[in-house]
Structure 1
Amino acid sequence: MKNLTLLTAAAVGGVLVGLDPALAQDTTAAAAETAAVEFAAAADTAYIFNTLLFLIGGFLVMFMAAGFAMLEAGLVRSKNVSMQCLKNIALYSIASLMFWIFGYNLMYDGVDGGFIGSFTPKAIPAPDADPGDYAAASDFFFQLVFCATTASIVSGTLAERIKLWPFLIFTVILTGFIYPIAGSWQWGAGWLSEMGFSDFAGSTLVHSVGGWAALAGVLVLGARKGKFGADGQVHALPGSSMPLATLGTFVLWLGWFGFNGGSQLAMGTMADASSVARIFVNTNAAAAAGVVVAIVATQIMYKKVDITMALNGALAGLVSITAEPLMPSIFMAVVIGGIGGIIVVIVVPLLDKLKIDDVVGAIPVHLVAGIWGTLAVPLTNDGTSFGTQIVGIVSYGVFAFVASLVIWLILKATIGIRVSVEEEALGLDKAEIGVEAYPEFGVGSQRV
């Protein structure tokens, strides 16, 4: 309709040239003024829609913090639920501050094909001095919630035996330095971006980085008491609430639409809006496939369906599609997500054989499925190659694992990272927090 209006004005102006040059000049000037007004209005509309995309995507990803908290609360034993809730609200808050103080500019300011940005706090411009195609504050908020997600991954793996303060200190370093530096290599236009590495929404940058940090931590921390027998037997330590864990999974699934959809980074045109819709469909299909495959696989392997595998199958499907949620057909999204579900069913018992005690299954879900999703990008996106993807995966793995391992070892050697045997048996809610999640069900509780 706008184009038709402009063409009509131009045609009228052309006719008037032969009739009255002065009138034609006035008409042409009016048409130009109309075009300028309409162009400014279109730019304003794009600015509004792009800003809203960041903000809506951001608060959906922020809500994933609640999903992680509920998932972890459901998968740990009742004596450790308050600890997991505290860790999750604390890590989100720490990430919010550290990403402002150091993280954002380390990730985005002046990387220019290099390895790191600048060590300065992020400055948010005033509304009347806010350049670009979207509000700078909306982009900052959107990137911040991704940073917090990385720390959430570590929280679940190390549950039920890690001290609170060493975990929080590690979170400061992870969210303020390790994640932002790693992110600068790709999303900050660093060296991997120039090489052609592709990770649309963070299968490697967010999920694998968090997974590597968790793996380093669990190797230093060790397994929970009673998890593995002297004869190599694996003892199940069931979580407190499958309904809570299921709720957490659904919250994460919902938040993932912001995680992947918001990573389109623009919705000012019809093509952008269509791309966001396609991303939603593929994201949902991959998660659904992960669930169904995990259900079928556990029925075949164990003769019973394991709900924790089904929940983690959904998350592994989501992580797997995150590296490239736009380009695949629905069929390919189902294949990619379904393989994520298989990864969970295979890797969880493999970790048990290796005596690696990952309480919530974050390493299979975020690390291994994240690697798979990143490797799968060239299957649907011919703009990158398997070789480049492997270089990125290895680079992120070495950096995140080694940096995290060094920090965990320093913390262990200085302040210690593990509670005592007695405190672990008592539960961290009593030993570390002082507030039990379910006091009326505790040993020696008074019933009135």
Structure 2
Amino acid sequence: MLPNLINDLWVLLASLLVFTMTISVGFLEIGELNHKLDRSLYKTLIITGFSLFFMGLIGFNIAFAPTIGGVIGNPFYSNIFMGLFSTNLSGGLSGVFWLTGRNFFDTGLSTGTYFLFETAFASVTLALVGVVVLRKMKMSAFILFSIIYFIFIYTLPAAWIWNPTGWLYLMGVRDFAGGLVVHGAAGFAALAILVRIWQEEKKKGLKQSKIEHASLNSGWLTLAIILLWVGWFGFNPGSELAFTSETVMVVITTFLAAASAMVSTLGTKFLISKHDPGLIYGVNGVLMGLIVITPLAGYVSPGSAVILGLISGPIFVYAEKLLSRPKWYSDPVGVLPGHLVGGVFGLLMIAFFTQTAFATASGASNLPNGILFGGGIMALHQFGFEAFAVAVVGIFVFTASYLSVFAISKLLKGMLQENEYTDQIINNTTKP
């Protein structure tokens, strides 16, 4: 008999919703750039399958098993695949994973349920990184990077922040559903790949990066945002790891932040351009609101969620404008202004908007009230913890990602998709 059937069923449903977000990112790429379907969908299929295999093999243990010195989970805890090759039900079905006991109010999730939920998060994270690859990176290079990412790059920050024995968690860092572990980290990894792409393009004689221009497909773009918005129903509320009244509150804060951000994004863009912003800014506004609320959805009131959403819109518009100026990289889908800026901003807002009543109900009883709610010196300390986590995770993910793609590039004698560059090199060579 499962330890707690209701909680297990809820988190299983949330896992499936989050898994749909991976393919939805592919739809988003198709919708914004009007790409051919095969490459984008093939990429998301690879990500989904590889996440399940390599997270199950060893990645899940590295992230969520009892850590060694607070740095890395025991890779062989309960044997590989979490003991799921056991000949009885004590492995993945009836056994309660060590993490989901008293730390989460005895929610009693089975090992298999928790594995699927966290693996879905890993899958979405790499899908976000993969958006900057576009048609530039060899599929073989992306596959090799995927393996490294699921075993090493994604799992260590998860171990530090989400594992109750992780060193950043013990310091006091909190990240409700992945503002830094998912979105911020995806942005730092994407930036590292963009740097390596730029270096290889420069060697090929290009004056600037091959720019991918937006060419909207409204049908695919609308489908993508609907699926992503619904998927976030599992992403944030599922992070409660139980079906409680606070779970419903997280649904409300998540959806209100998204709607408010859409309103403020459209309004800001209209005031700047004096014309209808169009579908693309509506979509980006929703995404920005969802990203910003992610790290603190369980710690804030609905009113605070609305305020965060309204602030998020202008931040996205101006971040996009600023980050679109450099010509050495191409980020047409907005991974940097959306996921990197939004994820980091949302994480830092924990120190401003947290209310202890909501945080305690979500399992973060040690979080103080935010600065805006009288948290005082304790809230300032919390801001320091979160800012320190951004620096540590940012440096690690960027460095590890860059070294990985650098090594892959050397192994494959270049990681760029050759046929995308031939014509441009002929017509746009750098003069000596």
Give TM class, smaller chain. 0.7 to 0.9
Letter of the structure 1 residue corresponding to residue 83 of structure 2: A
Letter of the structure 1 residue corresponding to residue 60 of structure 2: Y
Match of 1:301 among 265, 272, 290: 272
Match of 1:101 among 57, 65, 69: 57
**CA separation in 2, counterparts of 1:231 and 1:346?**
26
Q: Which residue of 2 aligns with 1:403?
A: 400
Would you say 1:123 and 2:107 are equivalent positions? no
Cα–Cα, structure 1 residues 48 and 425, in superposed 2: closer, same or farther, change >3 Å? farther
Q: 1:353-375: CA deviations, max 9, x gaps?
A: 12231131112111110000100
Cα–Cα, structure 1 residues 424 and 141, in superposed 2: closer, same or farther, change >3 Å? farther
Q: 1:196-237: CA deviations, max 9, x gaps?
A: 101011110111111111111012113999xxxx99999771
Letter of the structure 2 residue corresponding to residue 417 of structure 1: M
Match of 2:71, SS state, is: coil
* 1:100-249 equivalence runs, <5 A: 100-111=56-67, 114-120=70-76, 121=80, 122-124=82-84, 126-127=88-89, 130-132=94-96, 133-189=108-164, 190-222=166-198, 237-249=213-225
Q: Check whether the contact 1:186–1:193 (CA below 8 A) recurs between aligned residues.
A: yes
Q: Check whether the contact 2:184–2:339 (CA below 8 A) recurs between aligned residues.
A: yes
Match of 1:419 among 413, 417, 420: 417
Match of 1:157, SS state, is: helix
**CA separation in 2, counterparts of 1:76 and 1:369?**
22
Match of 2:4, SS state, is: helix
How far is 1:424 from its partner? 7.1
**CA separation in 1, counterparts of 2:322 and 2:37?**
26
Cα–Cα, structure 1 residues 224 and 344, in superposed 2: closer, same or farther, change >3 Å? farther
**CA separation in 1, counterparts of 2:390 and 2:420?**
40
TM-score w.r.t. structure 2 length? 0.81
Q: Unpaired segments of 5 or more residues in structure 2?
A: 97-107, 357-366, 369-381, 425-432
Which sits farther off after the overlay, 347-356 or 191-200?
A: 347-356
Q: Which residue of 2 aligns with 1:288?
A: 259
Q: Which residue of 1 aligns with 2:359?
A: none
Q: Which residue of 2 aligns with 1:278?
A: 249
How far is 1:335 from its partner? 1.6
Q: Which residue of 1 aligns with 2:33?
A: 76
Q: Check whether the contact 2:32–2:217 (CA below 8 A) recurs between aligned residues.
A: yes
**CA separation in 1, counterparts of 2:113 and 2:422?**
42
Q: Which residue of 1 aligns with 2:18?
A: 61
Would you say 1:317 and 2:279 are equivalent positions? no
How far is 1:86 from its partner? 0.8
Q: 1:226-265: CA deviations, max 9, x gaps?
A: xxxx999997712251220121011011000101111001
**CA separation in 2, counterparts of 1:147 and 1:91?**
9
Q: Check whether the contact 1:286–1:333 (CA below 8 A) recurs between aligned residues.
A: yes
Q: Which residue of 2 aligns with 1:333?
A: 305
How far is 1:81 from its partner? 3.3
Q: Check whether the contact 1:223–1:357 (CA below 8 A) recurs between aligned residues.
A: no
Match of 2:70, SS state, is: coil
Letter of the structure 2 residue corresponding to residue 215 of structure 1: L
Cα–Cα, structure 1 residues 423 and 169, in superposed 2: closer, same or farther, change >3 Å? same
Q: Which residue of 2 aligns with 1:374?
A: 347
Letter of the structure 2 residue corresponding to residue 262 of structure 1: G
Spell out structure 1 runs of 4+ moving beyond 6 A: 230-236
Identity over the aligned pairs, expressed in percent?
28
Letter of the structure 2 residue corresponding to residue 377 of structure 1: I
Letter of the structure 2 residue corresponding to residue 360 of structure 1: V
**How many residues are aligned here?**
373
Which sits farther off after the overlay, 308-317 or 235-244?
A: 235-244
Letter of the structure 1 residue corresponding to residue 253 of structure 2: N
Match of 1:188, SS state, is: coil
Q: Which residue of 1 aligns with 2:45?
A: 89
Would you say 1:362 and 2:360 are equivalent positions? no
Q: Check whether the contact 1:182–1:396 (CA below 8 A) recurs between aligned residues.
A: yes
**CA separation in 2, counterparts of 1:404 and 1:232?**
22
Letter of the structure 2 residue corresponding to residue 138 of structure 1: T
How far is 1:352 from its partner? 1.8
Q: Check whether the contact 1:77–1:237 (CA below 8 A) recurs between aligned residues.
A: no
Match of 1:351 among 298, 301, 323: 323
Q: Check whether the contact 2:316–2:337 (CA below 8 A) recurs between aligned residues.
A: yes
**CA separation in 2, counterparts of 1:71 and 1:424?**
27
Match of 2:161, SS state, is: coil
**CA separation in 1, counterparts of 2:256 and 2:313?**
12
Q: Unpaired segments of 5 or more residues in structure 1?
A: 1-43, 268-272, 427-448
How far is 1:177 from its partner? 1.2
Letter of the structure 1 residue corresponding to residue 89 of structure 2: P
